Amino acid sequence: MRISDKFDELKINGDGALIAYVCAGDGDTTGIVHALIRGGADIVELGLPFSDPIADGPTIQASIERALDAGMNPDRYFEMVKGLGVDVPLVVMTYYNLIFKRGLERFVKDCKDSGITGVIVPDLPPEESGELGGYCEGNGVDLIFLIAPTTTGGRLEDILKRGTGFLYLVSRLGVTGARDDVAGSTKEVLDRVKTDKPKAVGFGISSGEQAAEIIKGGAQGVIVGSAFVDIIASGQDVVRRLEALAREIKSSLG
Amino acid sequence: MNKKQKGKFGRFGGQFVPEVLMPAVKELEQEYERFRDDPEFKQELDYYLKDFAGRPTPLYHARRLSEKYGIKVYLKREDLVHGGAHKLNNTLGQALLAKYMGKRRLIAETGAGQHGTATAMAGANLGIATEVYMGAKDMQRQRMNVYRMELMGTKVIPVTSGSQTLKDAINEALRDWVSNVEDTHYLIGSVVGPHPYPTIVRDFQSVIGNEVKQQIMEKEGRLPDSIIACTGGGSNAIGTFYPFIADTEVKLFAVEAGGSGMESTDKAALHSASLCVGEEGVLHGARTKILQDPYGQILESHSISAGLDYSGVGPELAYLAETGRIKPANTSDDEALAAFHELSRMEGIIPALESSHALAYLAKVAGSGELGEIVVINLSGRGDKDLETVLEKGAL
Ligand SMILES: Cc1ncc(COP(=O)(O)O)c(C=O)c1O
């Protein structure tokens, strides 16, 4: 499913999108993805683990390490995604070296063939993204860019022009990781980024309350990662708790 | 490639960093452009290099070594720079730049502690708060260097993620920078990382090659036939080579750590020879040669010398190797150890294990005629820091 179709569908109902991140290969990924979708996740962002994840905080780093130790790799990743059998948009989040090594064209084709319709690469700024963007466009895959509190001026305009699917607004300076509050910079970024494309806010969201505040602030979606990964890391009652947290957050987005 | 792209060396280099950092690397690029030729900045840096760091360093004719190998061997004595290695050339330059930029805090990564120590020196001297990320494993192995940094008021932060070594310390420093980019300068220790770092560090280290050029002309009235430098990230190598790039009759040898063998296991290479056998990829913000597995996961590297123990290499060196201007080579742990002992005994100079790799290359190929008649070896550091490692090897 294309990401834009999902946002169109949500718009009709006046709903905000819950975009759930987990790292593939950490735990029973298929069971985890299905639990998130049952709980109400509209889009699933599946991390493809890389050995040196510089944009991630300790929670997701640890998840990536567990996934790598368990043997996750790009071949297995695409194989697993193919077998998921879900009808929400799937997005791959990974670092550029894994894409580069596989070959840009082959990577995007693998995405398309396995049902992935979006790519997020936190260490690939728009300036370096021309070639990957070309393959994405040719294969019906969205290339999703991040916008930080520090992104301004001509660079912001460039990202707004290039980004497809949705715009990933980073709510604060820093790496991924769950926080209790909503950063003051969030509202400021939301106001500043003027676009027709859907805006989703990520980095630090862990509760329905925070998520509701962000949707009220003008976002079309929230991205939640570390809060789910914390549950996976605990190993306790994982599937039920993931579904419950997804439901709690999703129910606050209406 | 028809036009030279800013921040690229051929197709190598670039700025592969999280969006949060893009404005910071752009700012650094602009500020460096602004200050690099600023007379006041240059004068102040020259002052620190001379009176604080002890430059210029001598170009020393190693007489007994020359006799043994039948080649005239000159050693560029970076081991005599304050702190015991070339690292201070760069940290003074960047710390001063940070000061001109109005940054209030320096962060750095360190492997064995050499760059961390040099950063601590510059930070203390210029009065800028300094924090250094160091792998928890490295902290245990290098307790004295940790203490040295602490003595100079630097906070050393243990890194417990990943392999707990240099590449993870870089990851962690980048994460810190992502969170504190407004008031913090990331003082990277080699010609690696996103543009403009490879250029900035090269320029600050080029003082080595500029001095060599002047000194060899005074002593020999001509350029050397070859220059040899050890190569981890590549800062002492490019700093020595750079002023000679256009002098194509001078052969330039970049000697990497061959470790305990040129093979790799699943997660680790037994060496650190990314120029020699690495594959193209993107690590720590730049497209370059990297030790990686078939999927692109970064391999841990190995060397007896902590300063060469890195999975990547500067993008400009990757480019110069590809064009054939520099020749990548490697020498093993054992060859470096032998060279360490040889220089100590024959010249009364205890070299750093890093620099010993460059010396070992002399021993390895001197007989072949490849080096010509006059060779300059950059003695990037002194070996006092390595005595424990050498003792463990049960040497002598
Ligand atoms: C004495 C010495 N030589 C060489 C190096 C390697 O660094 P580079 O390749 O950047 O010169 C180090 C790094 O710590 C060092 O301490």
- The answer to whether A50 contacts B297, with C-beta atoms less than 8 Å apart, is yes
The amino acid sitting at A131 is E
pLDDT tier at B4, thresholds 50, 70, 90: low
Residue B104 has pLDDT above 80, yes or no: yes
Cα–Cα–Cα angle for B140, B145, B150, rounded to 5 degrees: 105
**How many Å lie between the centroid of ligand 1 and the Cα of residue A224?**
42
**Residues 101 to 160 of A: which have CB under 8 A from any B CB?**
101-102, 122-125, 127-128, 145-152, 155, 159
- The answer to whether A149 contacts B17, with C-beta atoms less than 8 Å apart, is no
Residues in chain B within 8 Å Cβ distance of A104? none
pLDDT tier at B121, thresholds 50, 70, 90: very high
The Cα–Cα gap between B106 and B109 comes to: 10
Q: Is B355 among the catalytic positions?
A: no
- The answer to whether B19 contacts A97, with C-beta atoms less than 8 Å apart, is no
CA A13 from chain centre, in angstroms, equals: 22
The Cα–Cα gap between A249 and A145 comes to: 24
Q: Distance, in angstroms, between A216 CA and closest chain B CA?
A: 24
Tell me whether 0.90 is exceeded by the ipTM. Answer: yes
**Average of pLDDT values for B8-35?**
95
- The answer to whether A57 contacts B284, with C-beta atoms less than 8 Å apart, is no
Residue A187 has pLDDT above 90, yes or no: no
**Average of pLDDT values for A178-196?**
84
Backbone dihedral region of A85: left (phi > 0), alpha (psi from -120 to 50 degrees) or beta? left
- The answer to whether B298 contacts A52, with C-beta atoms less than 8 Å apart, is yes
pLDDT tier at A175, thresholds 50, 70, 90: confident
pLDDT digits (tens, 9 = 90+) for B199-239: 999 999 999 999 999 999 999 999 999 999 999 999 999 99
The Cα–Cα gap between A177 and B54 comes to: 46
Which letter does DSSP use for residue A118 in this model?
E
pLDDT tier at B395, thresholds 50, 70, 90: low
Determine which of A63, A98, A101 to mutate to test the interface with B (most B C-beta atoms within 10 Å).
A101
How confident is the model at residue B394, as a pLDDT?
80
Out of B201, B354, B386, give the residue to mutate to test ligand 1, the one with the largest number of ligand atoms within 8 Å of its CB: B354
pLDDT digits (tens, 9 = 90+) for A46-104: 999 999 999 999 999 999 999 999 999 999 999 999 999 999 999 999 999 999 999 99
Residue B1 has pLDDT above 80, yes or no: no
Q: Does B5 or B250 have the greater pLDDT score? A: B250
Query: Which residue has a Cα nearest atom 13 of ligand 1?
Result: B307
Ligand 1, pocket residues at CB < 6 Å: B 85, 87, 114-115, 190, 230-237, 307-308, 352, 354-355, 380-381
How confident is the model at residue A204, as a pLDDT?
86
pLDDT tier at A116, thresholds 50, 70, 90: very high
**Average of pLDDT values for B123-143?**
93
Residue B2 has pLDDT above 50, yes or no: no
pLDDT tier at B246, thresholds 50, 70, 90: very high
Compute φ and ψ for B130, nearest 5 degrees.
-130, 135
**Average of pLDDT values for B88-96?**
98
Q: Distance, in angstroms, between B173 CA and closest chain A CA?
A: 9
How confident is the model at residue A188, as a pLDDT?
87
How confident is the model at residue B197, as a pLDDT?
98
**Average of pLDDT values for A133-152?**
96
pLDDT digits (tens, 9 = 90+) for A188-247: 889 999 999 999 999 889 999 999 999 999 999 999 999 999 999 999 999 999 999 999
The Cα–Cα gap between B75 and B375 comes to: 9
Cα–Cα–Cα angle for A62, B168, B31, rounded to 5 degrees: 120
